[in-house]
Structure 1
Amino acid sequence: MEAISRFFVTKDITIRQAIERLDQTAKKLLVVVEDKKLIGVITDGDIRRWILKNGDIKRSVSLIMNTSPVFLNREEKDKCIELMKAHSIEAIPLINDSREVVDILFWNEVYDNQFKYYNTNDIPVMIMAGGKGTRLHPYTKIIPKPLIPIGDTPIVERIINRFLEFGFNDFYLIMNYKKDMIKAYFNGEQPYQLNFLEEDSPLGTAGSLSVFENNIQSTFFVSNCDILIDINYSQLLNYHKKHHYKMTVVTALKNYEIPYGVFTLNEKGAISTLREKPQYELLVNTGMYVLEAELLSYIPKESYFDMTDLINQCLVNSEPIGAYPIRESAWLDMGEFKAMQNMVERLKL
C-alpha cells in the first residue's frame, strides 16, 4: 500500500500541484481518493484538455478529474489488458470491496511494451541533424551535435530508439555540418530504414523538407536532433488525425517566475497593484511536429526556411494548426550546457 500511496491525491489540490506530482511519479496517472476510497483519476490527457481551454492551473483538480474512471476489483486483475484495449487507457486502479485502492496496473509494466493508439508503420520521421550546435562549443567543434553522447548513446540514436518503441520504422537524417561523421557512425545495417539527406548549404529547420514534396504523400513527423520527448508518439499521432490538423506542434507548459515584485500602474502613473514574484505558465515550442504532406508545397526550393516560417505561412493561409501540450518534465533539451547536464541527470546516466 505504501508503494502506491505516492499516486494518491485529494480533490483539493491544485492542477499545478497535480502536474508536480505526476513529475515526481514519472507516470501518467494520479488516483483521487477520499479516505483511501476511489473517487476519480487524473491523467495527462485531462490536464492537456484543461490547458487547451486556457484553464488556470491554480484551480482545483476537481475541475478536471474523471469522476467515472475505469477500474477493476482486485479479483478481476486478469481482465486488465482487455479493459485497457477497450477503453484506450494505459493504467487501471484495482479496488477492494470497500472501494479502497489497493493497486494500480500500468500497461507497460503488465504487457512489457508501449500502448499503441494508432498504426505508425508507414509514418516517416525527419530528424533535423544539420545544425552547427554553436551553443555547445567546444564539443561541437569536434563532433556534430547529433553524435554528442547522452550517457553512452548519442542523442540522435536515443531519438530514433524512442520512436522505435512505438513502431516507427522509416527515418530520414537531414545533415549538413560534419555530415560524414554522422554517416560513418551509422555505417552498416540497421534494424530499421535509415535514409540520409545531405544539404549543400544550411537551409534552416524546414527548408530541406521541400525535396520531399513529390515523395511523401502522408503524415510525417519532424524532430530537432537535440531533444527527447517522453510521451506516447502513437497517441500524439492519433490526436493529430482525430482533430484533422494540417500541423500539430508539441508544446511544453513551462513555468517562469519573475524573481522580483511586479507593479502595475493606473492611468495616472501611480502604483495600483503589487505582485511579489509572480509565476506565469507559457506554452513553448519543443521542436517536434506532426505534419501533413500538402504543407510541403509552402516551403520554397533550396532556400533558407525555418519551421516557424512554415507555421506563420499556415496561419496566413488559415490552415488548422494544433498544439499538443505536455508537461515540462516530459521535454528534455540538449541545446545548451546546462540543459545537456540536466538531460544526463534526468535520464540517470
Structure 2
Amino acid sequence: MDIKDFLINENCSMIEAMAQLDRVAKKVLFVVSKQGLVAALTDGDIRRWILKKGSLEAKISEIANYQPKYLTTKEKFRAKNYIKTQSIEALPIVNSKNRVVEIIFSHHEVIKTRKSIDVPVVIMAGGLGSRLYPYTKILPKPLIPIGEIPIAEHIINRFVDNGCNEFYLILNHKKNMIKAYFNELDKDYFLNYVDEEIPLGTGGGLALLKGKISKTFILSNCDILIDEDYQKILSFHQKQENLITMVCSMKRIRIPYGVVEIGKDGNIEAMKEKPEISFFVNTGMYVVDGRVIAEIETDKEQGFPDIIETYRLQGKKIGVFPISEQAWLDMGELDELEIMRNRLESDE
C-alpha cells in the first residue's frame, strides 16, 4: 500500500472519501491541497456529519478537521510518544514544504486486556431461509458454511471478539440440527436456546425472552456480519439515550441507464447518465432497551422493523448508527452469500 492511498484532495466528496476509507481500512485519511497537508478526516468525522443530517453530497472540506496533528521530519523522533499521548491512530510526517512524506501508525500492544461488553446478544435464527434455497432444503440458514464454519458461528465469534459472552439463539426451523452442532463445540461463552413453537418473525420472537432479559441487549439477524467496534455502537446508544439504535450501512447503487427528469410541462429538465445513488439501509443489527421485550405482545408474528415503526410513531427515540458499505456483510441471497464467502476467505 502506497502513501498516496491515504491522501485525498479536499474537493472530493464525502462518498468518495468513504470509499477510500474502506479501501485503506485504517479509519483515517489526510486531506491535501496545493499547500500540502491541510486536514485529517476520520470515519468518526463522517459519522458525526451524517448524524447531523449533513448532505451525502458534501465536500470533505465541510467535514474534515482542519487542525490535524502532525510532526515535521525533524520532529519524527517524537512520533511514538506523540501518538501515545495524543491517542491517535496515525501520524503524518511532513517535510519543509508541508508535503506528507510518511505516515506512522500506532502499534497495538502484544498483550491486551480483553474488553468486555456486559450486554446479552440475541440472534434471530429461526427463519426458513427461503431466499437461500436449495441450500436451506438440507441445512437451516444458521448452519450454512462460510469457509470452514457456519454463518451463526461466525456471527457469535465476531461478538466474542468484541467482548460479548452471553447469547440467546431464537430457534424454529430445523432447531435440533442447530442445537446438535453448537452442543458439540468447545465454547468459552454462554449459549441459551429459545424455542419458537410457531413462526413469530424477527420481532415477535423476542416475547419469548420475557423474564430472561430486562436490560439493554444487542439484536442481530442470522445472516449478517458487522465489521465495527461494538463497544462504540453500544456507547453511542447509551449516550444518545435511545430506546432502539439501528445500525445502518451506506449503500451505493449505480443505475445502468440514463436517468431523465421531466418537468410539469413535459419537457426534459435534466439528464444524468448512469447516476450513482447513495442511501442508508438497515443492516439487521440493533441495540435495544430491555423494556422493549416487556412491551412486546405475546404470540404475535411481527417483524422488528414494524416494532420500531410503532415506537417511532409514538415519538420514542429511535437512533441510527451509520457504518460504511464495506463494514456490512450480508448473506440473505445467493449472490450475497458468495460475496461474503470471498470476503471472509480473503481476510484469513
Fold shared per TM-score above 0.5:
yes
* 1:26–1:247 distance in 2 versus 1, CA, 3 Å: same
Distance 1:165 1:241 in 2: 21
**What are the Cα deviations for residues 81-126 of structure 1, in whole angstroms up to 9, with x where unaligned?**
7436xx5x5x1314267464522324xx52358999xx74320000
1:154 equivalent to 2:150? Answer yes
- Structure 2 counterpart of 1:95: 93
* 1:147–1:80 distance in 2 versus 1, CA, 3 Å: farther
2:50, 2:322 within 8 Å by CA — same for their partners in 1?
yes
- Structure 1 counterpart of 2:40: 41
Identical-pair percentage: 43
* 1:120–1:80 distance in 2 versus 1, CA, 3 Å: farther
1:245, 1:322 within 8 Å by CA — same for their partners in 2?
yes
1:213, 1:293 within 8 Å by CA — same for their partners in 2?
no
Distance 2:227 2:77 in 1: 33
- Structure 1 counterpart of 2:138: 142
**What are the Cα deviations for residues 49-98 of structure 1, in whole angstroms up to 9, with x where unaligned?**
222333333332111111223456532344367436xx5x5x13142674
- Structure 1 counterpart of 2:161: 165
2:79, 2:104 within 8 Å by CA — same for their partners in 1?
no
1:299, 1:305 within 8 Å by CA — same for their partners in 2?
no
Distance 1:113 1:337 in 2: 40
1:15 to partner: Cα distance: 1.4
1:146, 1:156 within 8 Å by CA — same for their partners in 2?
yes
Amino acid of the structure 1 residue aligned with 2:238: K
RMSD: 2.4
1:220, 1:293 within 8 Å by CA — same for their partners in 2?
yes
1:294 equivalent to 2:291? Answer yes
Distance 2:113 2:59 in 1: 29
2:213, 2:293 within 8 Å by CA — same for their partners in 1?
no
Distance 2:338 2:241 in 1: 38
Unaligned runs of 5+ in 2: none
Distance 1:97 1:279 in 2: 38
Amino acid of the structure 1 residue aligned with 2:198: S
Distance 1:202 1:21 in 2: 42
Amino acid of the structure 2 residue aligned with 1:76: R
2:331, 2:340 within 8 Å by CA — same for their partners in 1?
yes
Distance 2:136 2:130 in 1: 7
Distance 1:244 1:138 in 2: 43
* 1:103–1:273 distance in 2 versus 1, CA, 3 Å: closer
Unaligned runs of 5+ in 1: none
- Structure 1 counterpart of 2:268: 271
Amino acid of the structure 2 residue aligned with 1:123: V
Number of corresponding residues: 340
1:114, 1:166 within 8 Å by CA — same for their partners in 2?
no
- Structure 1 counterpart of 2:51: 52
Distance 1:61 1:241 in 2: 28
**What are the Cα deviations for residues 2-54 of structure 1, in whole angstroms up to 9, with x where unaligned?**
74332122222221211111121122111223479543211111112222333
1:71, 1:92 within 8 Å by CA — same for their partners in 2?
no
SS at match of 1:160: helix
SS at match of 1:322: strand
Distance 1:278 1:96 in 2: 38
